[in-house]
Amino acid sequence: MNKVLLYFALKYHGDWDQIYQALERKEKISFEALDTFEVKIKCQYITILDPQYPPTLKSIYKPPFVLFYYGDFRLLQNYDQNLLLFISPKPSQYGFQQTLKFIKELVDHQKRILMFYEESITTKILSALPPSAGSQIIFFLYKNSISDFYLNNPNSTIRQCLVISESYDQKSINLKNHIRRIVIALAFRILFIQTNKYDDSEKLFNYIIDYQKKLFCLPDQINKDNKNNRYLKLGALVVENVADIMQSWAND
């Protein structure tokens, strides 16, 4: 059955609805297709039927049938150690420096860092981090095709990270909308470092409310183009340093 799920995930480019409909109508697959499809993929994959599939994903709306990945999938085993870190794709120098500071200190506390892969800012962040930090970072793709991801990414630090996508070749679906539900489900805590009017943090915030997850935000000056202060008014928790987050972890 794993091969059947893989076949439909590849055929329908990770589109949950099309995969579900194919399963429901018992779409026919030739034995030859089942044998040849698996050898075509360059990365690893896990299906909803695998014992290693994250339990937190099974209870969400439209749990992914297949996840494609590079790296060590065991990084997702301890859900309660996961923190989603969100930073605007075009942060200020202050936002960038705070991102590095929080990642380094959270990694020192053995926390897993979940992030959306934004090529421009991600490359800059990884270049400024010690190589060892990559082994505690999990990236979720929504623009880049995982089928050629490592071939097109020479950064040695990214090769230590766990990189995940719901689609192998990213052709037919709005992956950012789809990947949000997965990332929030896998995050035990969420930290907004810096936001602005051009990002889509509002959509992410709505998922956080729906999933009843704990959100931390760094406050900023009221005249800055930053939505963090608004999220704080809506119930997010003020954070000034990693100790604030660790205290919350200790209280659970």
Extents of the domains making up the chain: 2-67, 73-251
- pLDDT for residue 194: 92
Q: For residue 69, what are the CA distances in angstroms to 87, 96, 140, 145, 168?
A: 23, 27, 9, 11, 9
Q: What pTM was estimated for this model as a whole?
A: 0.91
73-251, CATH topology level: Rossmann fold (3.40.50)
If you average pLDDT over residues 79-86, what whole number do you get?
95
Sheet strands side by side (includes 112-116): 44-47, 66-70, 162-165, 137-140, 112-116, 82-87, 189-194, 214-217, 237-238
Which has more pLDDT, 43 or 143?
43
- pLDDT for residue 34: 74
- The tens digit of pLDDT for each residue in 131-175 reads 788 889 999 988 777 877 776 776 666 778 899 999 888 664 556
